[in-house]
Structure 1
């Protein structure tokens, strides 16, 4: 696949999580609550492009409605018309980029925290192109962008207080209640508080297995049956010993195979 948005899809590690938590001064459960609601806690699609959601009403607003009549599926003052996740979102983004590249990039939400492109300055990026490059590179970069934006726009205070209603209003917008955003955050926090947060090594293996065409189930950092079965299939194909736990050799081989995938 030749695409400017495809990368090796480098996933979150302990260093990236620690860096974000240091910016936010919150616990891991608080941060995972946001990520799980925004993207189920995964920053890349299976094709190793950053997760995005294209917003037609943002493109319409930022272009002063110039393309509403000629391209109503791409530029529309009404929110919605999202369609399927995954490659369809890039189909819409690429169509908008042909009309106005910079505004199109600003009109999508990016990465594991779904940071809007027009908020690039709040992420510490010098331009939307700079922000998108970071989002494309690795989940560590995605998460740092999200954490930096939270610190800049003030939503960090509500997150620290676990004030899910005000956090939802600040981070998701005034219509947050339509999708029960605050209630979902609260439920996610309770789950992570009592059940623990994802094991990042297992989560990495799950993501890499997906990139390679295996089916480990939900990316949740838990080495359940589906993940173990997928891991064992990979180990068998690689003529490696089949194990009940994820060992360093298997994770290293997964990374090696992912890095060999075409960009």
Structure 2
């Protein structure tokens, strides 16, 4: 659950108590207002987390004493903005809206493994790319080799699908999956400067900073996306990053709102 300005209820009350327990002095009223947001931002800044004022699973876990060195930090976002030559608030907006919130599974049978989504129609294409006839596999295993998207089972079980595909061809299975926070497809590995598909997957499994680096490389290689990000053209960015149906999920309006919020937050903190 993401708690942010405007959230109300028992979860906010619990958050306020947790913040007070680590040294803050805010009202415990179940209303996530300016006072709570400032406390969250202050705590995130002190802990080296992304300073977005949103109390998600990472902030709450740290409040509960659960440390994890793999998490994205604010300095990672600062470095990414500097490297791309864009505003920090713009990178923070993309991180908020386009990332999956967590780059890794926490708990469960796939604890510590990067989040992925396996695409069976890409697997069909990549098998052909590697000189393998996909048709026998498509007939026998249509959930992992298919001409149409779909077959998703979500969460940690997507690793089951990828591993089954890997029994056919390891590299193709990696190339047919999107990885980590920003869900960059594995088939981009060569274009983004990785040594192999396997090297890309290994890099995504180290930490969220590496997953952000894959996103930065992706933007650097796409002039249209890079230019749209630089000039805050959120519709242009979303159409290139999310595809032509971006408006159905309001990606552009969410990005614009997140950018405004982060710009304001940084001005207030200055």
Structure-2-length-normalised TM-score: 0.64
Q: Does residue 179 in structure 1 map to residue 249 in structure 2?
A: yes
The one of the two structures with greater contact order (alpha-carbon pairs below 8 A, sep at least 6) is 1
> In the aligned structure 2, how far is the partner of 1:179 from the partner of 1:74?
26
Can you list the C-alpha shifts for 1:4-63, whole angstroms capped at 9, x where unaligned?
A: xxxx76112344323312221122221122222233432112111112111112112222
- Larger deviation, residues 15-24 vs 66-75: 15-24
Cα displacement (A) at 1:112? 1.4
Equivalences for residues 138-177 of structure 1 within 5 A: 138-154=207-223, 155-177=225-247
Q: Is the 8 A contact 1:124 1:145 kept in 2?
A: no
Distance 1:32 1:45, change over 3 A: farther
Cα displacement (A) at 1:119? 0.9
Highest Rg: 1 or 2?
A: 2
Q: Is the 8 A contact 2:77 2:92 kept in 1?
A: no
What residue is the counterpart of 2:117 in the other structure?
Answer: 53
Q: Does residue 189 in structure 1 map to residue 259 in structure 2?
A: yes
> In the aligned structure 2, how far is the partner of 1:81 from the partner of 1:191?
37
- Structure 2: gaps (5+ residues): 1-67, 129-133
Cα displacement (A) at 1:106? 0.5
Computed over aligned residues only, the root mean square deviation of the Cα atoms, in angstroms, reads 2.3
What residue is the counterpart of 1:98 in the other structure?
Answer: 167
How many pairs are equivalent?
A: 190
> In the aligned structure 2, how far is the partner of 1:68 from the partner of 1:185?
38
> In the aligned structure 1, how far is the partner of 2:199 from the partner of 2:144?
23
- Which among 18, 30, 34 is matched to residue 90 of structure 2? 30
Can you list the C-alpha shifts for 1:122-150, whole angstroms capped at 9, x where unaligned?
A: 33212111111111111111111110111
Q: Is the 8 A contact 1:16 1:141 kept in 2?
A: no
Cα displacement (A) at 1:102? 0.4
> In the aligned structure 2, how far is the partner of 1:191 from the partner of 1:78?
38
What residue is the counterpart of 1:259 in the other structure?
Answer: none
Q: Is the 8 A contact 1:45 1:51 kept in 2?
A: yes
What residue is the counterpart of 1:110 in the other structure?
Answer: 179
